[in-house]
Structure 1
Amino acid sequence: MIRPEPTAGREHWLAPEDCRAQLALILNSADFDATGRERRFLSHVVEETLAGRGDRIKAYSIAVEVFGRDMSFDPQTDPIVRIEAGHLRRGLERYYLTAGHDDPILITIPKGGYVPTFSARSPPETIEPALPVNRAEKVPSPARWMKVSWLTVALAAIVAALAVLALGLARSGVRPTSPEIPRLLVETFDDLSGTEASRAIAGGLTQEIVGQLSKFRDIIVVQSSENLVAPSRFVLAGSVHLSADSFRLRVRFINRADGSVLWADSYDGAIKVAALLETEANIAQKVATSLAQTYGVIFQADASLNVSNPPDDWAAYSCTLSFYTYRAKLDQTALPAVRACLEKAVERFPGYATAWGLLSQAYIDEIRFLYPSDEATSTASIARALAAARRAVELDPLNIRGLQAEMFALYFSKEIEAALLVGKRALDINPNDTELMGEYGYRLALSGGWDHGCPLIEEAHTRNPGPLAYYETAIALCAYFRGDYPQAAMWIRKATVPGNANYHTIAAAIFGEGGYEADARRERVWLEENAPGLIKNLRQEVAMRIIRPEDVDFFLGSLKKAGLAFKDLGGQT
């Protein structure tokens, strides 16, 4: 039996099985906001205490037995147990304020240690303070009905409520009302130094990272687990430690389903008042970009999931993942299925701005890689693309995928100035969106602004783990128009997109102009065999993408040097 200290001459006995039943209620509650590792943490310390081994609960034993750290773990240099204990305390506090507000037993973990306390919830005059328990004692058992009545009633109520809810959902055909986009809980970073300066830096970094993450509209960022309509699938946690003249931020990105750490990093900054705000902003931008950019950590985590028979909300979100997967490889055979999936997504969720933006880009891609191009088809696709893009922006004026799609649609309708204005506005909204950065830079370069667009493409290539071949092709084209043909040849050889005719056309121009005869011959043969429609209308196809006439003429001259025979304006070959 567990016995809190007596008050006013009365004692209240708690049976270990009742404490375990309370633990089960907590662990099985949707209102218990804790990761898998934090749940194992709670189970471990409760069981150890109930077994009379509370004196063995130390940071070292928890790290080794619960977190799987090796025997060399040093709690003085690795604060993981202290940090997770703080998260766990907040999770318990929230649980007892919500689902557990009427539970008969309180389980808490007092600050300064990891041994849990148990206290019976009694009428006001008999409530006992929660005190640590380090042993199990043998005492006379209470009456059987006292031990099981509260648990029986609670479980019966839960089962009945779930049964009524399930029956109601089955009869009403309730369906989700919004797509299942990722939800990320950003916890306030732990202050490991305990000074006024370190508290300020921890708080400032937390707020700055929340602000930078919130610019990415494809995720939902929350700071508190209180009153959430849906649980967060991911958690960003961290800690700040100060030394004499600098600080270090350690951050972890956690999958709440199993407590696994999907990504972790550390960042250092100098403690100089004049530069502190800028330092915090720079760190926040790096964290936000790593996690939330199109091919970042969140995308990689979700793209690797295989959900069988997915519900509508997850199916709609997975359509956006499939679009990004297609764009990484530019496999045109996958485009019809991706387009159909996105059309179904916006039909099911008409307010899904990101899906509208990606659908617009799918419409554009239908004409970007259609050879020979058809004017009527192109006009219709551009009109559909522009309508879908503007629908996305109407739904969410800050949605970068919608603005990027509008830029594309305007560009291919030859409204170049308007397209670049939209792209610039989008990059001003979120300068950390490397997907947009690369695409805007490419449009800027192809329209003649090579000196301004190419650095943006290069930065996107450096920061984005996504479609590297696409960026490398663009960097090769930049080097080609600078006249650096060895550099252009190096980059185009790195960029293998074997089934894309645009890639082979750029490669042919680079190798033809640079005098790489064998490489140029190989690319010419591929184009003649696989893209005769493109060769037939080569000037038209090139002018659809490269805007300045002098750039078009130079590019076509390079293709002639590669051995391509095609009719130019005036019927010249």
Structure 2
Amino acid sequence: MDRTTTNQLPGRDDDDRIVAAEYERLRTSPLFTRSPVLSRLLQFLVEHRLQGGRSAPKAYAIATEALGRNADFDPAVDSYPRVMVGRLRTLLDRYYAETAWVHRLRVPQGSYEIVVQRRASPPVRPTAGEDDAPAADASGKAASPSRPDGRTASARRSFGLRWRWIALIVALALAAGWWASTHWARLSHSAAQPVPLLEISMPQSGDTPISRALARALESRLRDGLRRFDLVDLRSAGPAAVAAPADYRLDASIVRTIDGPADITLVLNRTADQRTIWSQQFHLAESEMPGFAAIDPAIAQIAGDYGVIVRDQVQRRPDDFAPGYPCLAQFNRMRQMRSPQGARQVDACLRATLDRKANDPVALNALSLLRFSDWQARRDTPEGAKAFAEARALAFRAYENGAGTAAGQFAMARANFYGRNCAGGLAMGNGALRLNPYDADLSGFMGLFKLACGQSEEGGLLLQRSLDLDSSYPGVPAVTLAFVRSQAGDQEGAMAILARVPSPSKLEPQYLLIRSIVLARQGHLPEARVGWRRLLDYTKQPADAAPETVLRQFMITPAVIERAAAAVRESGIPSTAPRP
């Protein structure tokens, strides 16, 4: 019979050791790693017991010390501790329902105390055929019944076993044939592979009407943002969602204090192994709710072009260039890592993707950008002209087949900008931003384009938003924002931005240029000239080359080249910069 031990029963030290050991198992289990609020509550109850608490903790202590409520919390009017302890009971029951346990942790009904429940042994499932076992004879050996045909039970079992093996082999062969016929397309990559499926759990919250309303508003903000990205598919919230298992699950919780502020916790889990791959916590003021704009960076970092989900997929399959999603993930990895080594593979797999989905605006947009990059490296050559023509044609196709998508509109915006059509580029780019205001990459490049088209204030704001959304891989937008800060006289702010640029971008010519300008304006002219000499080496230009000539090797827009060249001259960098 199961029995429960409490703090008043003998064996308290033994029970405490069990509590500590069970807690370690629970806190590392998938159920609790994806429920950070309940995990913290369990930790508080366990620590209260192990630190000598002889009675259950009070609701006030649970609310203020475990659940983040303020000191003016009133348990008489707010049932949040009781609700969360009830959820903890449910989670403990779920965990132990799947575990063969001899002792387990419980929180008895009507109490906030952690206790140990024991039973004599874990449940044992009867083995197959146990009820049909032959009776033993007087010697204790099992009797071996015989048949009129003279065959012993052993012979019959051997004969039956052979037939079972034959049946099993036939069944496996049939199953293998069926599996191969239904999965061959996937094995041979004849079909473009889909994007990962993301499920959003209903945020955990308190039981008051305000808390429930805030939970719904938080879920709405998450869904509104995540649904706008191309490299993640959002699982629907209705009953139809049951049919499609998700690849990732986003759990959220909101712990609100009576006077307004709240802690928001987001946890992203990979469902294949129930592993948490990302989490973040936000402390929001009352004025930031129920809009929840403060969590926009989390949305961008989860679902962005090289966000958490894409990086997780690439890390698990680093050599997968299959058509469809794997290829798009590798394309974004190549862009963010500034690594042209895989460009041919990416070009090939993007074309293979379009062979299978000829009108996919996302793949068309990606291949268009890749070909524009080829044009930039080969300008004023026949190969460059060919790349430019194909890039524009791909952009037009992306727009024709995805006029209502951010990918389609931004592909057309880029083609217009590179064709020096600012009016058309701004119109299309603004449309793309309206379709996805959460995309750090889109905001960054629209900031660049607006600066090039003379809209300096709007361009600077978009560059800043790009960094606010995701500063992990800022690249050219961050470097350009540093130049904007430097032009405004804020050299310290400019250098702070440059210091956060990741290593791959520090090899880019834009970084070398802007850092040299900022260093010179800070009075570090020798170091600035070292950077300029590196830029000359990168562009293969002589020491006495005009700044405009150097900058044209990696810049496109004449107005931007003119402003940057003027800054180089004004800072005094090239006047005495000898060749190394």
TM range (shorter): 0.5 to 0.7
Give the secondary structure class of the aligned counterpart of 1:404. Answer: helix
Q: Give the AA of the match of 2:275.
A: S
Secondary structure of 2:457's partner?
A: helix
1:183 matched to 2:143 = no
> How far has the Cα of 1:142 moved from its partner?
12
The answer to whether structure 1 residue 545 and structure 2 residue 557 are counterparts is yes
Instruction: For residues 28-75 of structure 1, give each alpha carbon's deviation from its aligned partner in whole angstroms, at most 9, with x where no partner exists.
Output: xxxxxxxxxxxxxxxxxxxxxxxx658689999865434337995527
Secondary structure of the residue aligned to 1:253 is: strand
Distance 1:416 1:286, change over 3 A: same
1:503 and 1:283, CA in 2 relative to 1: closer, same or farther beyond 3 A? closer
Alignment check: 8 A CA contact 1:353 1:392 kept: yes
Aligned residue for 1:238? 252
Structure 1 259/367 Cα, relative in aligned 2: closer, same or farther at 3 Å?
same
Contact 1:179-1:349 at 8 Å conserved across structures: no
**1:523 to partner: Cα distance:** 3.4
Cα-to-partner distance string for 1:142-193 (whole Å, 9 max, x where unaligned): 9959899xxxxxxx999998864531342466424442312111111234x3
Q: 1:214 aligns to what?
A: 227
Gap change, CA 1:143 and 1:493, over 3 Å in 2: closer
Change (3 A) 1:442 1:242: same
Which shifted more, 316-325 or 262-271? 262-271
Matched, 1:302 2:313: yes
Q: Please tell me whether residue 338 in structure 1 is matched to residue 346 in structure 2.
A: yes
Q: Could you tell me the percent identity over the aligned residues?
A: 18
Distance 1:542 1:447, change over 3 A: farther
Whole-Å separation in 2 of the counterparts to 1:504 and 1:263: 33
SS at match of 1:279: coil
Counterpart position of 1:196: 209
Q: What amino acid is the match of 1:167?
A: G
| Residues 319 and 338 in structure 1, CA contact (< 8 A), matched pair in contact too | yes
CA displacement, residues 60-108 of structure 1 (integer Å, 9 cap, x when unaligned): 986543433799552754759936947998xx9xxxxxxxxxxxxxxxx
Shift of 1:253: 1.3
Rate the CA distance shift 1:158–1:544 in 2: closer, same or farther, 3 A: farther
- Alignment partner, residue 19 of structure 1: none
Q: Which runs of 5+ in 2 are unaligned?
A: 6-14, 29-38, 47-61, 68-83, 98-106, 110-117, 134-165
Is the CA contact 2:447–2:460 (under 8 Å) kept in the aligned structure 1? yes
What residue identity is the alignment partner of 1:305? Answer: R
Indicate the larger mover: 473-482 or 546-555: 546-555
The equivalent residue for 2:409 is 403
- Letter of the aligned partner of 1:201 in structure 2? L
C-alpha separation in 1, matches of 2:92 and 2:250: 12
Q: Which has the larger radius of gyration?
A: 2
Q: Give 1:220 shift.
A: 0.8
Relative to structure 1, the CA distance from residue 285 to residue 62 in structure 2 (aligned partners, 3 Å threshold; closer, same or farther) is farther
- The aligned counterpart of 1:476 is 482
The match for 2:100 is none
Question: Quick one: distance in 1 between partners of 2:439 and 2:454?
Answer: 23
Q: In 2, Cα distance between the equivalents of 1:446 and 1:311? A: 35
Offset of 1:486 from its aligned partner?
6.1
Write the distance in 1 (CA, Å) between the matches of 2:350 and 2:45.
50
Shift of 1:285: 2.9
Paired amino acid for 2:269: I
SS of equivalent residue, structure 1 residue 258 = coil
Cα offsets for 1:399-443 (capped at 9, x unmatched):
434433332222111112211222211112221111111111111
- The answer for unaligned runs of 5 or more in structure 1 is 1-51, 93-111, 115-132, 149-155, 566-573
The 3 A distance-change label for structure 1 pair 407 and 305 is same
Distance 1:490 1:267, change over 3 A: closer
Partner of 1:236, secondary structure, is strand
In structure 1, the residue matched to 2:423 is 417
In structure 1, distance between residues paired with 2:128 and 2:566: 95
Q: Distance between the aligned counterparts of 1:429 and 1:386, measured in 2?
A: 22
Distance 1:82 1:54, change over 3 A: farther
Counterpart of 1:259 in structure 2 is 274
What is the CA deviation profile of residues 429-488 of structure 1, one whole-angstrom value per residue up to 9, with x for unaligned ones? 221111111111111112222222123212322331332343432123213433555655
* 1:554 maps onto 2:566 in alignment: yes
User: Which residue is equivalent to 2:27?
Assistant: 67
| 8 A Cα contact 1:186 1:236, kept in partner | yes
Query: 1: distance between equivalents of 2:540 and 2:554?
Result: 14
Distance of 1:422 and 1:265 partners within structure 2: 34
SS at match of 2:45: coil
CA distance in 2, matches of 1:269, 1:414: 43
Q: In structure 2, how many angstroms separate the alpha carbons of the residues matched to 1:158 and 1:286?
A: 54
Q: Does 1:379 align with 2:378?
A: no
More displaced stretch, 532-541 vs 251-260: 532-541
The secondary structure found in structure 2 opposite 1:518 is: helix
Q: TM-score scaled to structure 2, two decimals?
A: 0.65
Q: Is the 1:385–1:405 Cα contact (8 Å) retained in structure 2? A: no
Counterpart contact for 1:184–1:221, Cα < 8 Å: yes
